[in-house]
Amino acid sequence: VALAGATVTELVGDRADDWDLAGELPRDVLRKLAEAGLLAAQIPARYGGPGWNSTDSGEFTAEVGSLCGSLRSVMTAQGMAAWTIERLGDPAQATRLLPRLVSGDTAAVAFSEEQAGSDLSAMTTSVTVDGSALTLTGRKTWVTAACYADFLLVVARMGAEGAVVVVPRTAPGVQVHRIGDPLGCRAAGHAHVWLDEVRLPLDHLLGGGRQPLPLLVTTALAYGRMSVAWGCVGMLRACLAAAVEHAGSRRQFGRPLGDHQLVARHVADLWAGEQIATRACEHASRCWDADADDLGAAVVLAKYVSAQHAAAGAAAAVQVLASAGTRDGHVVARAYRDAKLMEIIEGSSEMCQLMLAGHALSRR
């Protein structure tokens, strides 16, 4: 993990802000990381992956998250795709697709639609089967990493149930339209994906399809939540480091900023946020590796707590740096924009609260 951290630190260097401003990650960086299996490091060794456990993968995700939220977002998409294939694909599909995700190819996962955001049961994208082919039609939105993806996993209705369809980016009928002006994670390749009567062989249905829609969504989102949560830990670490450095070196009223108690409070809150988020993620990763009974609640808790603290912590860091941190090109300004999105994706904070309340009430 340390070696992988050094590799990604070297690959990113001091370029994350340039990528953010340009709205694009360099393809060679993505390819190198994908070839090394580092965009989805939990893919098991039997498929050619690094086979890391959730804790090691999480610490690495935090490292990437501290450097570049857009790159971490692409990692989240790749890991979510890999986990969905591993859990829902049949052995032939896993053997065909997973090695591609550790040898250079990238993937994205598409659930959301214009009228189906938090409420994914409202999705209308549908797949029908006719003889030896399937036909997929619908419009997905806000698909992270779609601009870079070699293939997409598209969640769709299949009669009264659901299915995940493996869609090559270049298949006839697929259009990927970049979202040019996201608030944050600007280089993560977010896109609208239009699917107009996309015809594919039946073996592009993961596990044959006809699975319950909630199962499909929950499977992919579980990995996504873990990855986002650890990414938020990384953002908190980057913000804490910047705030500590600035509060220790900048002087106002004849002493370092950190000696003023109201500034020290921001630093204390940032440190506490980083510690709380780390502990919640470590617990969730231990539950993930042990396949514990309360895994679902632990994952939602980690995502909820980490996203809340990342958004609050990034705001506190900007406050400590003040004018020094309020320009594009500064790590805390980027984190401020990126962190807000973490409260929206992979189940918004409100949806997490509802799930956590449901968990607590079910124990009555």
Q: How far is the CB of 246 from ligand FAD (least distance, A)?
A: 28
Nearest by Cα to 285 from 56, 4, 49, 39: 56
Q: How far is the CB of 351 from ligand FAD (least distance, A)?
A: 6
- Cα distances (angstroms) measured from residue 286 to each of 69, 283, 291, 292: 24, 5, 8, 8
Least spacing, CB of residue 281 vs ligand FAD, in Å: 20
Beta-carbon contacts of residue 266 (< 8 Å; ≥ 6 apart): 243, 247, 316, 317, 319, 320
Sequence-distant (≥ 6) Cβ neighbours of residue 314 within 8 angstroms: 235, 236, 239, 332, 335, 336, 338, 339, 340
Site for ligand FAD in 43-82 (CB under 6 A): 77
Residue span binding ligand FAD (CB under 6 A) among the ranges 60-68, 164-172, 182-190, 251-259: 182-190
Closest CB to ligand FAD among residues 281, 342: 342
Nearest approach, Cβ of 57 to ligand FAD (angstroms)?
18
Which pair of tokens denotes residue 309?
Answer: 């603290």
CB of 16 to ligand FAD, least distance (A): 16
Query: Binding of ligand FAD at residue 351 (CB under 6 A)?
Result: yes
Q: Which is nearer to ligand FAD, 36 or 351 (CB)?
A: 351
Please identify which residue in 83, 142, 151, 336 interacts with ligand FAD, judged by CB under 6 A.
Answer: 142
Task: Using the minimum distance from each CB to ligand FAD, give the nearer residue, 198 or 341.
Answer: 341
Binding flags for ligand FAD, 76-105, as an x/- string (CB under 6 A): -x----------------------------
CB 124 within 8 A of CB 177: no
* C-alpha distances out from residue 90 to 25, 40, 105, 207, Å: 33, 19, 20, 5
Site membership for ligand FAD, residue 348 (CB under 6 A): yes
Q: With respect to ligand FAD, which residue has the nearer C-beta, 143 or 163?
A: 143
Residue 185 interacting with ligand FAD (CB under 6 A)? yes
Shortest Cβ 190–ligand FAD spacing (Å): 6
Q: How far is the CB of 18 from ligand FAD (least distance, A)?
A: 20
Segment 316 to 345, residues that bind ligand FAD, using CB under 6 A: 341, 344-345
The CB density around residue 364, as the number of other CB atoms within 10 Å, is: 4
Measured at the CA of 232, the angle between CA 114 and CA 236, to 5 degrees, comes to 140
**With contacts defined by CB under 6 A, how many residues of the chain interact with ligand FAD?**
20
Count of residues making up the chain: 364
Nearest residue by C-beta to ligand FAD? 117
**Of residues 100-139, those binding ligand FAD (CB under 6 A):** 109-112, 117-118
Q: Which stretch binds ligand FAD (CB under 6 A): 42-50, 266-274, 278-286, 346-354?
A: 346-354
User: Taking the complex as a whole, how short is the minimal distance between the CB of residue 123 and ligand FAD, in angstroms?
Assistant: 9
Q: What span, in angstroms and rounded, lies between the C-alpha atoms of 298 and 295?
A: 5
Contact residues for ligand FAD (CB under 6 A)?
77, 109-112, 117-118, 142-144, 182, 185, 190, 341, 344-345, 348, 350-351, 354
